[in-house]
């Protein structure tokens, strides 16, 4: 009986955490792309630009987000072309804890957070990630891992807009 209870608790925990690990953004039907935009995106996109909107986004957060974007985009078959459709990631909020706060205060210091809106052609969609469901268990998850997830979400969203299959 104890084993069944433990298995149920572990299973439920895995389901809850798996929901937060998703890197596929939700696209509304009203924000879906036109047929012409889908074709243009599948032909190629420009290298994404990051618009910080006055938020302090450190260079290593930008680099890890863009690195994850390029790796995911290459796996999905998204072509990067200087003459392609322009892509801009507008950062709406960012919160990064210091390493000392992470080490000494652990989860009492709150969570790292990064969110934004990706504009590609005539379509825009939200991307965001934080560590709220991770910090009680793993207080050492960093803003780098959060920015990696946002970069992957951006690439997955562009693939969804273009009608490309997303597989993991």
Identify the DSSP state of 124: E
User: Within 13 A of 58's CA, how many CA atoms are on the CB side?
Assistant: 10
Q: What is the chain's pLDDT, residue by residue, as a tens digit (168 residues)?
A: 555 554 444 444 444 444 444 566 666 544 566 778 888 888 999 999 999 988 888 888 899 999 999 999 999 999 999 999 999 999 998 887 665 555 555 555 566 788 999 999 888 999 998 776 555 555 556 778 889 999 999 999 999 888 888 876
- CA 162 to the chain's CA centroid: 18
Which residue ranges form the domains of the chain, and what is each CATH number?
A: 24-162 (3.30.160)
Euclidean distance between CA atoms 90 and 52, whole angstroms: 6
Cβ-Cβ contacts under 8 Å for 148 (sequence gap 6 or more): 64, 65, 67, 68
pTM over 0.85: no
């Amino acid at each position: 009986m104890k084993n069944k209870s433990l298995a149920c608790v572990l299973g439920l925990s895995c389901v809850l955490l798996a929901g937060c690990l998703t890197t596929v953004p939700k696209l509304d039907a009203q924000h879906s792309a036109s047929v012409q935009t889908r074709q243009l995106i599948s032909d190629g996109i420009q290298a994404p630009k990051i618009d910080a909107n006055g938020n302090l986004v450190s260079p290593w957060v930008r680099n890890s987000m863009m690195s994850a974007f390029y790796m995911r985009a290459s796996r999905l078959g998204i072509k990067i072309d200087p003459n392609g459709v322009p892509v801009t990631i507008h950062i709406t909020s960012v919160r990064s804890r210091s390493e000392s706060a992470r080490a000494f205060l652990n989860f009492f210091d709150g969570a790292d957070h990064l969110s934004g809106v990706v504009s590609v052609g005539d379509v825009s969609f939200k991307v965001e990630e934080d560590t709220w469901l991770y910090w009680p268990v793993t207080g050492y998850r960093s803003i780098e891992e959060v920015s990696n997830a946002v970069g992957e979400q951006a690439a997955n969203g562009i693939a969804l807009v273009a009608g490309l299959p997303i597989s993991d």
